[in-house]
Structure 1
Amino acid sequence: DDHRVSEKTLAFYMQANFETEFNGMLVNITTGLRYEKTDVTANSLERPAVNMEWVNGSEWSYIYANERSFSEGEGSSSEFLPSFDMNVEVVEDVMARFSYSRSLARPPVSSLRSTTSFLGNPKVGQRTVSVGNPNLKPYTSDNLDLSLEYYYGSGSYVSAGYFRKQVENFLVNVTTEETLGGITDPYSGDRAEQARADLAAAGELQSDQAIHDQINENQGTAQGTSIVGNASDPLTNFFVSRDNNVETANLWGYEVAAQHMFGDSGFGVTANATFVFGDVEADRDATGYQFALPGLSDSANISAIYDLDGLSARLSYNWRDEFLTGFDQHSSPIFTEAYGQLDVNVNYSVNDQLTVFIEGLNLTDETQRTYVRYSEQLLSAYQYGARYNIGFRYAF
C-alpha cells in the first residue's frame, strides 16, 4: 500500500490577561481566540476497477486498469476556537473557577485516505465499495468547567467541580447507493431484458444462468463467454461506505478531590473521584448499528503519601468502573468489567541530580475481564500479575 495524506494548517491566535478586584475579591481572567484553517490533500496508489464482467450464472468479477495510478482527494476545514478562564478568590483561601473553551481534535489520518476499494466479487446485491474521505471535519467540543476549592492548611485542600462537554462531528461509517467510474451493469441492460423476454416467450425459467446463455445466443457468441458491461447498459449501483461526520454527544459529570497533610510529619492522604454521565451509552439489548462512546466510566483513587527529607512514598488504590470497550463484527457491545489495583511507589533523592526509585504495580494480582452484552458471555480474561521496577534518574 502507498497512502499519502498531507495536512497544512494556518493558525492565528490572540490572548489577553486581566487582573482586577470586584467587591474586594481578587479576579484573574485569561481570554483568547484562535482561528485554524486546515487543507488536506490525499493520494493513494491503486489499480481502479474500470468495468465488470458476468462470467457465468452467479459468478462475477471486476476488470481492473492495466496500470496503477494515484487517486486524488482533498478537503478543508476552518474553525474559530474561543476560550475564557476566570478565577475569583471569594474569601481568603477559597477559590472559584469558571472556564469555557471550544477545542478540536483531528480525525484519524487513516480515515482521510483517498482510497476506493472494490470489496469481493460484484455479485448482484453484493456490490460493495469502501472509500476514504479526505473532507472529514475535525471533532469539535464546547467545554464548560466550574469548580470551588478550599485550601485550609499547608498542602491540604478540598475541591468540587462540574464539567460539561458537547462534542460534534463524531465519525460514523455511512453506506449510500452510488454509481462509480462509469462502470455499467450487464445484468440490467437491454441485452439482459431481451434475454428475459425471449425466455418468457419460450416458457423457460429465467434463472441467471439461463439469461447469461440467452444473451450469448442472441449476440452469436459461444456459450460460457463472459458478458462485459457496455454503453447500452445502465450504470451500476454500488453500496458505498465511508466515514462521515454525523453524531453529536453530550457529556457531563462531577469531580471531587481532597488532600490532607498531617502537620509537618510528611504523612498525608489524598483521594479523588470522577462521575461521568451522558447520552452516549450502549444499549445491551439493541441489534444493529448504534452510536455509543467507548471508554467512559466513573473512576476513583485514594493514596497514602509520605514526602519529607528527600524520601517520597505513595501507596495507591486505583479503581475504574465498568466501561464500553467497543463493538464486535456483529455490532454487539463489548464491555470491560470494573477493575481496581494496588500500586506502590518509593523515590529517594540522593542529591539534586540523582534519584533512585522502586515501584510495584498490581500488587494483589488482579484480573481483567471483558464480555459481550452480558457478564455471562465471557470474551476474554487477562492476568498480568504483579510487576516491579527499580531504577534511577539522573539530571545533568
Structure 2
Amino acid sequence: RSAAANPGTLAPLLSDRPSQNYDYNLGFKFDAGLVTDYFDRVRAGSTNPDSAAGVRRIPQSITADYTAKEDILAGYAQARFDLGATDVLVGLRVEKTDFEGSATSVALSGAQTPVTVDRDQTDFFPNLTLRHSFSDQLIGRFALTRAISRPDYTDIVPRVLETTDSGRTTVTRGNPDLKPTLSNNVDLGLEYYLRPLGVISANAFYKDLSNYRFTLVTDNVPYVTPTSTVAQVTEARNARDGHIAGVEFNWQQTFDFLPGWASGFGVFANYTLTDAEIKTSRAFAGRDTFALPGQSDETYNAALFYERYGFSARISYTHRGDFLEAIDATNPGKDLYVEGRGQLDFTTSYDFGNGVEVFGEAKNLTDSAGVRYYGVKERTYEYEKFGYNVFFGVRFKL
C-alpha cells in the first residue's frame, strides 16, 4: 500500500496483513512504516501529506544510533595500620580513561554529518580511612576520599536530535566537551551497635565538587531548518564548582528480645538532610548560583519487617523532596523542577524449606503521582499517574 493524500480517515495506513495473534482474527493492523511517514509529513506543517514529501522530521532510526567505547586502565596501592583501638587505611588509585564516540548529526532537511570525539585523561584518587573503637559497641569513622562520576554516553557523544512540531524546532545535542565530575569528600560518623542485633548511626559529610553536570535549556537559539530559524536547545554543561553538605541518621534493629513469634519483627529507618548548590562559569538570567540539580534537600525512608518460621514480609515507605532538573538560560520561571514524591511498597514470601518459595510484591500502593513543574508548583509541566503494581510467583531452587 501507499499513503495517498489525506482522505479524512486512516484507512489507507492499514496493512494488507490481518493481525491473527493466538489464532484470533483481530482485523487489519496499521503498517508502522506508512503511519510514520504520514505523521512525519503532517507534523512538518502541511495539510496535504503528499505536498510535504521533501520536509520530514528527523529520522529517529538514525539519530538514536551512536557508538561509544570507553577503556579504563586502573592500578592501586594501599596499606593498613593497626594502632590498637584505631585502624588506619591509606591508598591511592590511578585511572587512565580512553573514550571514543561517534554519531550522526542529521538536519531536518535530511543532511547527515558524521562526527567523532576522541579523548583520554588520567585521574588520581587518594584515600585515607580511620576506624576507632571507643568500646565494643561504639565505633567512630573518618574518611578523606576523592571520587569521579563520568558522563553518560548519550550526554557526551556528538549527536544532534532535531524534532519539529507546528513549526517549533527543539534540539537535544551531546556535548563532546563535557568533563567528568570530580568530588573531594570528607565523612565523619558514629555507630552504636545494639544487642542482640541492631545499629544506630549518625554521619556528617561534605563533598567539594568540580565540573558538576547540569542540563541547560536555551530558547531562541539561531538554528535554520526548513520550517524555522530558531530552536530550543537542550544540552548537558559543566558547572564551575559546587558542594554537598549534609547529615544522615540510621536506625536498624531486629526485636529478638520480644517473646515467641513477636521476635521476628524489625525496623529500618533513614533520614538525610542536605544543603547543596553549584556555581556556573557564566550567569544565566543574572544567576550563577543554583540548587544542585538532581539533589533533594530531604530524603527519608522507613520499613517494618517480619522474618520468622520461613515467612517474611516487609512494608516500606520512601520519600524524596523536590529537586531541580533543568536550568533555563533566560527565564528563571522556566527552570524545571521535579516535585517530591513518596511511595509505599509491600513484599512477602514463604519458604517451604524444600527449595520451593512463593512470593508476592506490591509497589506504589498509594498510587502517588509524578509531577514536574516550571518555577513554582502552580505551573505544572507534567502530571503522571503510574498506578500500582501487584505480582506474585514461585521460585524453585535445585
DSSP-derived class of the 1:110 partner: helix
Aligned to 1:394: 396
Higher relative contact order structure (alpha carbons within 8 Å, sequence separation ≥ 6): 1
So what's the TM-score if we normalise by structure 2?
Answer: 0.64
DSSP-derived class of the 1:279 partner: strand
DSSP-derived class of the 1:91 partner: coil
Aligned to 2:363: 361
User: 1:75·1:134 contact (CA, 8 Å) conserved in 2?
Assistant: no
Give 1:53-92 correspondences, 5 Å limit.
Answer: 71=115, 73-92=117-136
1:257 aligns with 2:301: no
Query: Identity across aligned pairs (percent)?
Result: 32
Q: Deviations over 1:140-190 (max 9, x none)?
A: 111221110111211222111111111211246799xxxxxxxxxxxxxxx
Aligned to 2:374: 372
Distance 1:327 1:16 in 2: 44
Which blocks of at least 5 consecutive residues in structure 1 are unaligned? 49-61, 121-128, 176-239
Distance 1:130 1:315 in 2: 40
Q: Deviations over 1:215-273 (max 9, x none)?
A: xxxxxxxxxxxxxxxxxxxxxxxxx9986644211001010011233315111222110
Cα-Cα RMSD:
3.9
1:153 aligns with 2:203: no
Distance 2:105 2:385 in 1: 43
So what's the TM-score if we normalise by structure 1?
Answer: 0.65
1:144 aligns with 2:186: yes
- Shift of the alpha carbon at 1:79? 0.7
- Shift of the alpha carbon at 1:88? 1.4
Larger-gyration structure (1/2): 1
Distance 2:210 2:150 in 1: 12
User: 1:75·1:136 contact (CA, 8 Å) conserved in 2?
Assistant: no
* Residues 313/113 of structure 1: CA separation in 2 closer, same or farther (3 Å cut): closer
Which blocks of at least 5 consecutive residues in structure 2 are unaligned? 1-61, 165-170, 219-232
1:14 aligns with 2:77: yes
DSSP-derived class of the 2:69 partner: strand
DSSP-derived class of the 1:274 partner: strand
Match of 1:102 among 146, 169, 172: 146
Distance 2:157 2:94 in 1: 25
Give 1:112-261 correspondences, 5 Å limit.
Answer: 112-114=156-158, 134=176, 136-171=178-213, 245-261=238-254
Match of 1:381 among 372, 380, 383: 383
DSSP-derived class of the 2:154 partner: helix
Aligned residues: 303
Aligned to 1:302: 302
User: 2:369·2:386 contact (CA, 8 Å) conserved in 1?
Assistant: yes
* Residues 373/246 of structure 1: CA separation in 2 closer, same or farther (3 Å cut): closer
* Residues 277/14 of structure 1: CA separation in 2 closer, same or farther (3 Å cut): same
Distance 1:368 1:241 in 2: 22
Distance 1:139 1:300 in 2: 26
Match of 1:277 among 275, 278, 293: 275
